[in-house]
Homo-oligomer: A and B are copies of this chain.
């Protein structure tokens, strides 16, 4: 949970609440409650945002508030090609001393989403849970592959599903072909792998099976910040709602995640995620169905 300053070709915002956990929770709470948040913030994090989260069934027992310190701050600028961005500022602030712990009230959680963070801390969270969750999903990034690969390898052995983008899948394996990269990753620990390709959709791999979820072709991507975390939140939120972790159900969950991400990018930060109704989500998911439906009987 953090602050972002964002510039896109469509506008600029100097301070908006963001952070992986914020996006993931705002997406997941449309499908399952409570969402049990673990994070760290400074005393500058707005009470209104926390009230908003609580009102949506997002528990904050696991969110540590550090007095007289500042929340994590990230500032970035996007160009016309929204797949690339320049990071202008990264102020770790409270995140520098983050030592996440699981409150007793969270014990017994069946679905665990590990946001992108130092692998050692992700492992701590897994090990603090007295009962292994039914599904552990993990996000990570190239930075940890370069600076903490040993720890990352260990966490990978403890998770069920890894979530990375195409460049990260290639970096993690040294394989250019995503199909080959997927095969390698599925031997590193996770039984499932999702490779996110931004505007080109996402691929889900499991054994020899593969599923391709498109991204919705949008007129404008106003602000892509948080789209990946929103995708993850929608994905695991839907799985937690249906309590079905089969490959078949994961396909639907990916479409749900993609639908949530397609809302996220319509306005700055998580603004749009706080506006959408159940009905809008249903309509969007149906759009995805229409986008890829064709009649095979004719062939």
Q: State the A residues within 8 Å of B (CB).
A: 80-81, 176-180, 197, 200-201, 203, 210-214, 217-221, 238, 242, 248-249, 251-252, 254-256, 282, 285-286, 289, 291-296, 298-299
Contact = CB atoms under 8 A, between A and B. Distances in A.
Contacts of A178: 217
A221 to B, nearest CB: 8
B252 A299 contact: yes
A83 B27 CA distance: 34
A30 to B, nearest CB: 11
Q: Which 9 A-B pairs have the closest CB atoms?
A: A251-B294, A200-B200, A212-B214, A179-B219, A292-B292, A289-B296, A212-B291, A80-B176, A252-B294
B177 A219 contact: yes
A203 B214 CA distance: 10
Contacts of A221: 177
A28 B181 CA distance: 33
Contacts of A248: 294-295
Contacts of A294: 211, 213, 248, 251-252, 254-255, 289
